[in-house]
C-alpha cells in the first residue's frame, strides 16, 4: 500500500495530508498519521460543522460552562448546577444496535462525570425506518434493549425521550443519548492538564481492540460495506461504569485529582491531546504501561482503541498512592501511563523509545471547511398543499382511530416500561408526560427534562423546523 492509499484508508484527504506535511515539516510515520486521522475526523474535529455550531448563543446569566468542555453547565439555584449533554451514536447502532446504543449511553454518562457531576437522568431521541421491514424491527428492538440494558444496570434512571418512524431512517437509525448530572457550582471540574511532572493515570477498564478507528467510522457515510465494520463498535460493561462513577466522584471529593477527562472517540489520543492543548502543555504516554486485555497490541492500537469505561486523570505525584488504592478498592484498573511535560507535544513512548511525536495544538485544531449552503433540489418538487381542497371525512371516529394507530402517534409505553425510570427515587413526573420532572434531593428544587425533534419540518424548512423544535421542547 502506497502512502496515498494509506492516508486515504484512514479517512484523510489529499489536502489534509499535505497540511500535515506542512505542519510537521516531515512525513509522519503510521502511528502519527493514525493520530491525525482520528483527531481530524468529523466526529472529533467538527471540521465541517464547527462554523455552524459557533452561531448558537451560548451565554446567559445562569450559564456556568459553555462550549469547550465535556458538557454544558447551568446554575439552577442555591449553589446547585446541572451538567448536560446529548450525543449521537448512529453508525455503531446501525451495525451493532444493542452495543451501539448501550455504549452511546455509557459514553454520555462519562462526559457528565468528567465535569465532576453525578449523573441523575438519561433521555433519548430515536428515529427508525418503517417497522414493516424486518431489519428496521431488529434495529428498533435491539436499540431499545441496549439503552435499557445499560441504563438500568448502571443505576441512572431513563426518565424521558421520543421516537418517530419514517422511510428516510430505514436501515439508518438515529440514536441520540442525553445525560443530566447534578453538581455544586464550586465543585465543577475542568479537563485542562496542568503541572509539569504531574502523572497521567488511566482508570476503569482494561484496553482492547474494540472501537479502533471508531471515530473515523462514525464520520464516514453509512454504506452496504459498513456491516463488515463490527470491530469498530465498542462493547460496554455497565457494572464497571457504575464503579467508575463512584470511584471518580470519591477521588474528586477527596481532592486527589488535578483534572479529569473521559475516554470516548479516539481513546487515549483524544483525551490526552485535548487535555494537553487546553492546559498549554505536553503529555507523554507510555503505551507499554497501559493495562491490556488482549495480547500483542501495537502502540497505534493502544492509542486509538475506544474500549469503554475508561477515564484519564492528572494526579500530583504525592497523591498517586491514594488514587491507585481507591481504584483497587472499587475493583478498577488504575495505572500510571504517562506524565505532563513542558514540550507541547503528544509523545508516544513504547519500551523506552519514542515512537511518535505530534504537537498537541495541531491534533486539537482540525482543518475547518466553509461549505457552500445550497438549497436542496428536492424542495422544487414539493407540491403546494391547499387544505381547502381536502374532502370532509364521513366518519370522524374512523379517522381518529386511524391517526391513533399511526406509528408516530401510538403509545410509547412498550418502550419506556423497559427502562428503570425511578432508580434513585427522585423522578417526580414519570415518562409519558410532556416532560419528566426530577427533584434535587434535600432541596425544594427540581428540573424538567425532555427531548424533541421535528425531522419532517426540518426537511422541508430547515430554519423554521429548527425554530419549531426549540419551541416544542420549551
Catalytic option among 43, 91, 213, 421: 43
Find out whether 150 and 116 touch, Cβ atoms under 8 Å.
Answer: no
362 part of the active site: no
- Cell digits of residue 466: 429548527
Sheet containing strand 158-165, strands side by side: 63-65, 72-77, 80-88, 174-184, 118-128, 158-165
Query: Quick check: is 43 catalytic?
Result: yes
Q: Which residue has the cell 394507530?
A: 405
Q: Which of 447, 414, 444 is nearest to 432 (CA)?
A: 414
Q: What is the DSSP pairing of strand 199-204 with strand 80-88?
A: unpaired
By the 10 Å C-beta count (0-12 exposed, 13-18 middle, 19+ buried), 225 is classed as: exposed
Closest-CA residue to 120 (of 15, 245, 236): 245
Residue ranges in 55-133 assigned as alpha helix (H): 90-95, 97-113
For the record, the C-alpha cell of 188 comes out as 465543577
Catalytic member of 89, 91, 213, 362: 89
Do 313 and 201 form a contact (C-beta atoms < 8 A)? Answer: yes
On the 0-12 / 13-18 / 19+ scale of CB atoms within 10 A, 112 is buried
Residues annotated as catalytic (active site), given as ranges: 43, 89
Amino acid at each position: 500500500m502506497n502512502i496515498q492509499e494509506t492516508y486515504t484508508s484512514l479517512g484523510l484527504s489529499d489536502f489534509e495530508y499535505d497540511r500535515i506535511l506542512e505542519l510537521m515539516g516531515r512525513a509522519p510515520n503510521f502511528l502519527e498519521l493514525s493520530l491525525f486521522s482520528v483527531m481530524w475526523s468529523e466526529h472529533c474535529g467538527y471540521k465541517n460543522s464547527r462554523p455552524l455550531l459557533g452561531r448558537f448563543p451560548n451565554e446567559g446569566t445562569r450559564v456556568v460552562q459553555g462550549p469547550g468542555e465535556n458538557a454544558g453547565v447551568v446554575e439552577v439555584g442555591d449553589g446547585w448546577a446541572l451538567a448536560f449533554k446529548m450525543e449521537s451514536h448512529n453508525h455503531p447502532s446501525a451495525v451493532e444496535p444493542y452495543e451501539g446504543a448501550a455504549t452511546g449511553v455509557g459514553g454520555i454518562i462519562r462526559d457528565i462525570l468528567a465535569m465532576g457531576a453525578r449523573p441523575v437522568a438519561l433521555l433519548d431521541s430515536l428515529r427508525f425506518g418503517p417497522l414493516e421491514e424486518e431489519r428496521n424491527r431488529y434495529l428498533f428492538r435491539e436499540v431499545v434493549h441496549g439503552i435499557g440494558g445499560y441504563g438500568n444496570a448502571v443505576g441512572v434512571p431513563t426518565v424521558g425521550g421520543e421516537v418517530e418512524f419514517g422511510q428516510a431512517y430505514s436501515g439508518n437509525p438515529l440514536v441520540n443519548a442525553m445525560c443530566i448530572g447534578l453538581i455544586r457550582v464550586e465543585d465543577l471540574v475542568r479537563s485542562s492538564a496542568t503541572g509539569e511532572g504531574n502523572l497521567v493515570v488511566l482508570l476503569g477498564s482494561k484496553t482492547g481492540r474494540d472501537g479502533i478507528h471508531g471515530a473515523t467510522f462514525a464520520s464516514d457515510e453509512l454504506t452496504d460495506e459498513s456491516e463488515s465494520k463490527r470491530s469498530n463498535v465498542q462493547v460496554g460493561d455497565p457494572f464497571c461504569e457504575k464503579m467508575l462513577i463512584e470511584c471518580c466522584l470519591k477521588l474528586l471529593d477527596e481532592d486527589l485529582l488535578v483534572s479529569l477527562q473521559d475516554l470516548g472517540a479516539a481513546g487515549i489520543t483524544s483525551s490526552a491531546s485535548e487535555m494537553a492543548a487546553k492546559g498549554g502543555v505536553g503529555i507523554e504516554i507510555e503505551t507499554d504501561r497501559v493495562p491490556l486485555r488482549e495480547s500483542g497490541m501495537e502502540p497505534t492500537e493502544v492509542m486509538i482503541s475506544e474500549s469503554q469505561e475508561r477515564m484519564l486523570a492528572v494526579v500530583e505525584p504525592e497523591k498517586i498512592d491514594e488514587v491507585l488504592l481507591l481504584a483497587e478498592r472499587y475493583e478498577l484498573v488504575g495505572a500510571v501511563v504517562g506524565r505532563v511535560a513542558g514540550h507541547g507535544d503528544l509523545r508516544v513512548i513504547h519500551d523506552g523509545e519514542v515512537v511518535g511525536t505530534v504537537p498537541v495544538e495541531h491534533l486539537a485544531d482540525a482543518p475547518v471547511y466553509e461549505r457552500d449552503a445550497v438549497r436542496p433540489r428536492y424542495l422544487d418538487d414539493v407540491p403546494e398543499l391547499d387544505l381547502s381542497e381536502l374532502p370532509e371525512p364521513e366518519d370522524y371516529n374512523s379517522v381518529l382511530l386511524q391517526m391513533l394507530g399511526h406509528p408516530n402517534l401510538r403509545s410509547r409505553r412498550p418502550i419506556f416500561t423497559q427502562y428503570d425510570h425511578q432508580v434513585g427515587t427522585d423522578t417526580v413526573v414519570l415518562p409519558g408526560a410532556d416532560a419528566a420532572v426530577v427533584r434535587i434531593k434535600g432541596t425544594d428544587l427540581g428540573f424538567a427534562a425532555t427531548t424533541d425533534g421535528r425531522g419532517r419540518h426540518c426537511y422541508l424548512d430547515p430554519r423554521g423546523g429548527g425554530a419549531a423544535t426549540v419551541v416544542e421542547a420549551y
